[in-house]
Chain A
Amino acid sequence: MALLEIENLSVNYGAIQAVRNLSLTVEEGEVVTLIGANGAGKTTTLRAVSRLMKPLSGSIRFGGRDITRLPADEAVKLGIAQSPEGRQVLARQSIQDNLELGAYTRSGPSVKADLSEMYERFPRLGERRDQMAGTLSGGEQQMLAIARALMSRPKLLLLDEPSLGLAPIIVREIFGIIRDLNARGTTILLVEQNAKLAMNASHRTYVLEAGQMTFTGDSAQLVNDERVLHAYLGG
């Protein structure tokens, strides 16, 4: 049984049908990438999984449980965490408070231990722990958003455009972190515009076009597939 199973999902974004009849699965331990042009429905799919958006039809199952109608905060308790598009750090709270709020659904001494682990893994966050999150650079905010999502000890980590607007050297660093997280057992569903980078970091890829899945396969094979390029040029 797959950790995440999406079946025939349709989601409206206002009056626009952003996702149409999408089916996909994520197995435990996998990194799966959704790629596609702007407006292809990638973010909408993630937001439906994290329960920020109500599907029109179809179903979402997580760990065998139907979560199609679950409130967003309940999804976190089941083990779904998202690092949202645009990072969305709480600008008016400190780095430490952001991370502690990431562990909002948990309690006990393990939270403290995880906090020190995050500071070890992301030393730049550790150095600035009392600084307001809004004063961080884009790359640091992205790291904070990922670390904050990890603080809930998710079974499934959703990453929405982690490379957006970042310098190439920071992007490489972020993808190093993604590989490392997966090597330690975190299952990841990744949305990216930077297709090549995302495919190199993932096991399987789904290509979306205008809200529909056009094709899917092993990332290693799709990396050299001309159809991927085609999907981006929108021809």
Chain B
Amino acid sequence: MELSQFIQNLMNGLAIGSVYAIFALGYTLVFSILGIINFAHGAVFTLGAYFTYTLVVGQFENNGLLKGVNLFPDGSPFSGQPLTFALATLLGATLAGLVAVLIERLAFRPMRSRGADPLLALVSSLGVALVIVNLIQLLVGAEIYNFPSNAYGDTPPALSFTLGGKIVIIRTVQVIIFAVSLVMLAVLGYVIGRTKIGKALRAVAESPTTASLLGISVDRFILITFFLSGFLGGLAGTLVGTAFGVAGPYFGVVYGLKGLAVIVLGGLGSIPGAVLGGLVIGLAEAFVPSQYSAYKDAVAFALLFVILLVRPQGLLGRSAIQKV
């Protein structure tokens, strides 16, 4: 492989891998607190993209109940500038976070308060995911929606430079995705590692009983966790939607599965593991030669299979120890 091609693949891999990472962190946060997988996380990812699209474009012209409705007859205030687009992305992610809080209230909390087997929440969260996906289809149809190219203002669509006589082209949106994901990871790392809220969150993850003996409201932290998780999922959805289009209500399903592969690969419940797992899978996919690109997912899951044979606890997972 030539160096220019290598750089190109590397950048592709880092961009998609970093999105996998922030998306998978949403699973990890909830798993580390409740010990269960939130199967509605993929649907929240989808919603995040649709929320941002709604803010930026304001109408869905293809299909669904909302066909013909225009939220902003005079043009969206969130469109046309990089900063306003960023604001729409943050708002979209925030709304996705609030939906995740609602999901906790509807699908998880009632189970918990009745002392149900945690596994049952898998089913209830899967149910919520189906409702969300079908609602989207009912409202705006199943067609793909692409962000208009002028949505983020006058940014050049690609950066290009020559390397060893070859031109390397990197899409601006990929650079943005990578940068936003890195900032998000840094902020999250700081909050969880250094702040009082982060320490309390880790205390709840380690032992809810002990946390409540320290005056930490476990219920409130579960809500905070779901909000963060939904925010990350919604942000990832918008980032992917920006790069490849908002590809219908089932948009998040593939990412939902990929996210599961990422957290299992990295080690269930491990935050650095989710980041590493995301990057490893993203890079592995990017280096699949383009004529075999249909086998991308196969490569990702084969990698997962091989690594789990060697390290069943995942790359950075703790081996299972019995809590005493």
Contact = CB atoms under 8 A, between A and B. Distances in A.
Interface of A: 50, 52, 71-73, 76-77, 81-82, 84, 86, 88, 90-93, 97, 100-102, 104-105, 148, 152
Interface stretch (B129-137, B152-160, B207-215): B207-215
A89 B222 CA distance: 21
A91 B218 CA distance: 18
A138 to B, nearest CB: 12
Given A90-B202, A104-B200, A152 B215 contact: yes
Contact of A90 (B207, B217, B324): B207
Interface string B190-213: 000000100110110011011011
Given A100-B199, A104-B196, A73 B207 contact: no
Contacts of B218: 73
A199 B78 CA distance: 71
Task: Identify the interface centre among A76, A100, A101, A102: most chain B CB within 10 Å of its CB.
Answer: A101
Given A52-B213, A101-B216, A102-B214, A91 B206 contact: yes
B209 A88 contact: yes
17 contacts: A50-B213, A52-B212, A71-B212, A72-B212, A72-B213, A73-B218, A76-B215, A84-B213, A88-B207, A88-B210, A92-B202, A93-B199, A93-B206, A101-B200, A104-B214, A105-B214, A152-B214
Contacts of B203: 90, 93, 101
A101 B209 contact: no
Nearest to B202: A93
Interface string B208-232: 0110111111100000000000000
Given A90-B206, A101-B199, 17 more contacts: A50-B213, A71-B217, A72-B213, A73-B212, A73-B218, A77-B215, A84-B209, A84-B210, A90-B203, A90-B207, A91-B206, A93-B203, A100-B199, A101-B200, A102-B214, A104-B200, A105-B215
A116 to B, nearest CB: 18
Contact of A104 (B202, B207, B216): B216
Task: Identify the interface centre among A81, A82, A92, A148: most chain B CB within 10 Å of its CB.
Answer: A92
B14 to A, nearest CB: 30
Taking residues whose C-beta sits less than 8 angstroms from the other chain, chain B's interface range is 10 to 19
A199 B215 CA distance: 30
B206 A76 contact: no
Nearest to A87: B210
A141 B234 CA distance: 41
Task: Identify the interface centre among B213, B216, B217, B324: most chain A CB within 10 Å of its CB.
Answer: B213
Nearest to A152: B215
B213 A82 contact: yes
Contacts of A52: 209, 212-213
Task: Identify the interface centre among A73, A86, A100, A105: most chain B CB within 10 Å of its CB.
Answer: A73
Q: Which 4 A-B pairs give the minimum distances between C-beta atoms?
A: A76-B215, A105-B215, A72-B212, A73-B217
Contacts of B213: 50, 52, 72, 76, 81-82, 84, 88
Task: Identify the interface centre among B202, B210, B214: most chain A CB within 10 Å of its CB.
Answer: B214
Contacts of A152: 214-215
B214 A76 contact: yes
A101 B214 contact: yes
Nearest to A77: B215
A156 B207 CA distance: 23
A67 B217 CA distance: 16
A31 to B, nearest CB: 20
Contacts of A90: 202-203, 206-207, 210
A147 B140 CA distance: 58
Nearest to A52: B209
Nearest to A84: B213
Contacts of B217: 71, 73
A73 B210 CA distance: 10
B191 to A, nearest CB: 14
A177 B213 CA distance: 21
B218 to A, nearest CB: 7
Nearest to B218: A73
A82 B214 CA distance: 8
A191 to B, nearest CB: 15
Contacts of B202: 90, 92-93
Contacts of A88: 207, 209-210, 213
A50 B213 CA distance: 7
